[in-house]
Amino acid sequence: MNGKDSLAGISGRDYFTLVLLSTWTNFIPNYKCDSKDNTVAVIGGPNSDVNFFMATILSIYKVPQLGYGSSPVIHGPSQQLLFQWMFPNRNQQYVGMLQLLLLFTWTWIGVIFIEDDNGLRFVQKELPKFSQGGICFDFIEPLPPLYFKIGIHEMIESWVKLYLLISDSTASVVVLHGEIHTMIVLRMFPRIPEFENIPGMTNSKVWMMTAQMEFTSIPLQRSWDVDILHGALGFATQSKEVVGFQNFLQRRNPDVQTRDGFIKDFWKQAFDCSFQTSLEEENLWNRCSGEEKLEALPRSIFDISISSHSYSVYNAVYAVAHALQSMSSLMLKRRTLSEEGRKIILNPVLWQFHHYLRKVSFNNSVGEMISFDQNGNLEAGFDIINWVTFPNLSLHRVKVGKFDPKDQEFNVYVNAIRWPRRFNQVFRI
């Protein structure tokens, strides 16, 4: 399996996608001379734009794609047929969010969303259902862009405007419809008063986050506190701790994984050190020994427990393996060639493989059933997560509930929830 950096920009995504369609040693798309490196499926994510740009190319070659995190808006049944999402039907998540709001009688809320296809669909098609359920909105605002396309002064001005809107709002709860990089943005909010000489928030808000979001940060934020996340509630695809996962991570280091093209960059950022390829780096950074321990890092930098996104990738790999096994077994029964007494299994055909992938059904190593519905969505429910933070920059994602539409199950362990500091609402349950 090959891993490609999805953060390399739009052109980088296109390039790496085409690399997967080339031979191992030469970048020649649409030409195969190495039978050992045929791409049968691609796992993509975590953002919708990553999946969208990959799908644009992969659909031409009928390559099945398994997406985790946010899914792009699919256009037409032919594209949908090639997609499997390691994510339940997104509409079910919104039903769960509405139930959670009503459970705590949070009927006056604010909403922030990414202004993309998914965010606009949420605002246009799902929020009216919230209104029908008795929810009223103090504000519905898009997140300003996190790039300099509009000019740095305009960008800062838009962020300050949003911060003041949230700070002055009488809503106790803010629904945040975002993706994995939205967490980077959220952690910037407490820094705005420091740089703009404006008052900070007097009362904390409860952030309610979608399952597409996951904790992440950039090197600039390694020393920033994570207090803004304390007491936040979020949805996450159901996951369980995989036996051996933490041991697997603890065994990884740059000296052993020499073929891993990302581990040195990750190591430098995680441990704030350098492998000192130049005199300048030697003067600026501590030297990486390669013996640093991942488990010693604060969870705000790296969490060795399995996240819902990691769990999705884990299951996606096994889904491909099970589908290949089913397809190969059937091909062996139907078409086996003999050549000097040896059996040769014909190479799988991509346009046939997606059928086996869509029909896959198996129990993973922790006993959970993995299968897809007729639209390619993962048949699963959601965990309800409470974010708990500590002054030493550690954070924990505590499961405080479960929402499973298929079994009509909605459970919240209210007494287990840790609420934000300076949160004044009285609960009537």
Nearest to 169 by CA among 193, 202, 145, 194: 202
Confidence (pLDDT) at 260: 74
Mean pLDDT of the chain: 81
Confidence (pLDDT) at 335: 60
Count of other CB atoms within 10 angstroms of residue 323: 24
As beta bridge partners, residue 402 has 383, 411
Would you say residue 62 has pLDDT above 90? no
Query: pLDDT band at 83, cuts 50/70/90?
Result: confident
Confidence (pLDDT) at 341: 47
Considering 17-21, 37-41, 159-163, 185-189, the range whose residues carry the highest mean pLDDT is: 159-163
Packing angle of the helix pair 48-58, 9-20 (nearest 10 deg):
40
Lowest mean pLDDT, pick from 120-129, 188-197, 258-267, 332-341: 332-341
Would you say residue 22 has pLDDT above 60? yes
Please compute the mean of the pLDDT values over residues 101-111 and round it to a whole number. Answer: 96
b/e per residue, 75-95, with b = 16+ CB within 10 A? eeeebebbbbbbbbbbebbbb
The structure's pTM equals 0.84
Those residues with Cβ within 8 angstroms of residue 275's Cβ, 6 or more apart along the chain or in another chain:
254, 264, 268, 281, 287, 288
Please compute the mean of the pLDDT values over residues 22-51 and round it to a whole number. Answer: 67
Gap between the Cα atoms of 6 and 11, Å rounded: 10
Among residues of the chain, what percentage have pLDDT more than 70? 78
Gap between the Cα atoms of 367 and 354, Å rounded: 24
Please compute the mean of the pLDDT values over residues 20-31 and round it to a whole number. Answer: 61
What sign has the CA pseudo-torsion 120, 122, 125, 131?
Answer: negative
Confidence (pLDDT) at 4: 47
Gap between the Cα atoms of 12 and 108, Å rounded: 43
Query: pLDDT band at 345, cuts 50/70/90?
Result: very low
Please compute the mean of the pLDDT values over residues 330-348 and round it to a whole number. Answer: 55
Burial of 107 (0-12, 13-18, 19+ CB in 10 A): middle
Confidence (pLDDT) at 338: 46
Confidence (pLDDT) at 30: 60
Would you say residue 392 has pLDDT above 90? no
Gap between the Cα atoms of 178 and 176, Å rounded: 6
